[in-house]
Amino acid sequence: MPVLVASDLDRTLIYSAAALALTMPDARAPRLLCVEVHESKPLSYMTETAAGLLTDLGDAAVFVPTTTRTRKQYQRINLPGPEPTYAICANGGHLMVDGVSDPDWHAQVTARLADQCAPLAEVQEHLLRAADPVWVRKHRVADDLFAYLVVERELLDEDWVKELAVWAENRGWTVSLQGRKIYAVPKPLTKSAAMREVARRTGAELTLAAGDSLLDTDLLLAADRGWRPGHGELADTGFAAPSIRVLPDRGVLAGERILREFLGAVRGAGAGPEPGA
């Protein structure tokens, strides 16, 4: 029986230096493997143990990296293990098949957005007008699907984020604060819809998922079983559901734990060989 494993990446399986410091500031440093380089500098990491677990998982299940990153940002990442056939980028806006965006899927998504929520241009204009330049460092649009701000977190007025969330809700959008980024994403743009499409194509009868942020909520609830770490937006709000296991682990070691949990579930389903990790 095929098992599909759809996992968020940033702050779930892989961690920037800043995320390492935020999620496990006092822990003894584990041995790390760099999995992303940007502008000739190492950017994201996972533990060496997690790298071995991910390799085993890729051999035993249909592993689908599932991220809010754009296609270009995702392609900077070099995960260990077999190259995934499928990847979900731009929060479900692009379904990558052998490294190329599926045009039919993208067309379906853009038609749904045009029909169900306010246009990107309206949201972008509001962010440009309402965000305070004191704490905003960058305005960005991702794959012509959603917008985000890069901010100085220590200067950020978090009441403004709450007000933005209310404004966006009335227009069919959602707001998520992750590290130094504030995302404004159309509600119909979901990771779960793309995961269901991959499950349909692969014939997967069991779906597993993990994530740490508000934008992972639908993915976790859509999967048969889900996991979230002890850090992140979902942990801060106490998010839980019967099908979701709440882990106490934080930071890069949570990524390692999530992969162990995935492997245990795959083994329990009889979908692959006994993992060696």
Reference 190, options 201, 176, 204, 180; nearest CA is: 176
The answer to whether residues 16 and 105 belong to one domain is yes
Q: Is residue 23 part of a domain?
A: yes
Place of tokens 């749904």: 112
- Using DSSP's 3-state secondary structure scheme, residue 46 falls into strand
The answer on pLDDT for 20 being more than 90 is no
C-alpha count within 13 angstroms, C-beta hemisphere, residue 219: 32
How far apart CA 223 and CA 220 sit, in angstroms, is: 5
Predicted local confidence at residue 275, as pLDDT = 36
Over residues 187-197, mean pLDDT: 97
Q: Is residue 275 part of a domain?
A: no
Starting at the edge strand that comes first in sequence, how are the strands of the sheet with 32-38 ordered?
15-16, 41-47, 32-38
Residue numbers of the domain that contains 14: 3-110+189-269
Q: Is residue 80 part of a domain?
A: yes
Tokens of 32: 């790390």
How far apart CA 258 and CA 186 sit, in angstroms, is: 28
The answer on pLDDT for 277 being more than 70 is no
pLDDT in tens, 212-251: 999 999 999 999 999 999 999 999 999 999 999 999 999 9
Full-model pTM: 0.91
How far apart CA 6 and CA 61 sit, in angstroms, is: 10
Domain end point (choices 154, 186, 218): 186
Task: Name the pairing type of β-strands 62-65 and 3-7.
Answer: parallel
Predicted local confidence at residue 271, as pLDDT = 54
pLDDT in tens, 102-155: 999 999 999 999 999 999 999 999 999 999 999 999 999 999 999 999 999 999
Q: Which amino acid is at 265?
A: A
The answer to whether residues 27 and 105 belong to one domain is yes
